[in-house]
């Protein structure tokens, strides 16, 4: 499993509950179409965290990089429903930092692997 990790600050005019509802609709759609395994949204509590920490943490679980690529391809479809769900979330997002994580230690022992 891999975790697509997104730290998010909303735009000044965005409402947190509206963002959470829109994100639930978008992630639920992706989950229903099996392009992700699961997801979780957390919000920083009482402003506690490092100064560079963003307000929201979104974790999206995928099997592997192939599934993550499929999720990106699916999101890039020109379908009206996909476009609407994505746009509703995206228009509320201000700043975002993204990373890709995996459980550790993992069976692949990626630190030892190299192609050259």
pLDDT tens for each residue of 27-64 = 999 999 999 999 999 999 887 888 888 999 999 999 99
- Asked if the structure places residue 84 within a domain, the reply is yes
What residue numbers bound the domain in which 59 lies? 2-101
pLDDT tens for each residue of 58-99 = 999 999 999 999 999 999 886 899 999 999 999 999 999 999
Q: Which pLDDT value is given to residue 113?
A: 61
- Asked if the structure places residue 112 within a domain, the reply is no
Q: Which pLDDT value is given to residue 109?
A: 65
Given a cut of 70, is residue 111 above it in pLDDT?
Answer: no
- Asked if the structure places residue 106 within a domain, the reply is no
- Asked if the structure places residue 108 within a domain, the reply is no
- Asked if the structure places residue 115 within a domain, the reply is no
Sheet holding 2-10, edge to edge: 38-43, 56-62, 2-10, 93-101
Q: What is the CATH number of the domain that holds 77?
A: 3.30.70.100
Provide mean pLDDT across the span 16-34.
Answer: 97
Nearest one of 98, 93, 95 to 19, comparing CA atoms: 93
């Amino acid at each position: 499993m891999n975790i697509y990790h997104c730290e998010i600050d909303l735009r000044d005019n965005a409402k947190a509950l509206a963002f959470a509802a829109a994100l639930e609709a978008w992630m639920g759609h992706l989950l229903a179409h099996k392009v992700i395994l699961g997801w979780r949204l957390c919000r920083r509590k009482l402003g506690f965290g490092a100064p560079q920490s963003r307000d929201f943490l979104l974790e999206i679980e995928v099997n592997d990089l192939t599934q993550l690529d499929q999720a990106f391809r699916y999101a890039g479809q020109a379908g009206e429903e996909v476009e609407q769900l994505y746009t509703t979330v995206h228009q509320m997002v201000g700043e975002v930092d993204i990373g890709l994580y995996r459980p550790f230690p993992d069976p692949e022992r990626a630190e030892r692997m190299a192609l050259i």
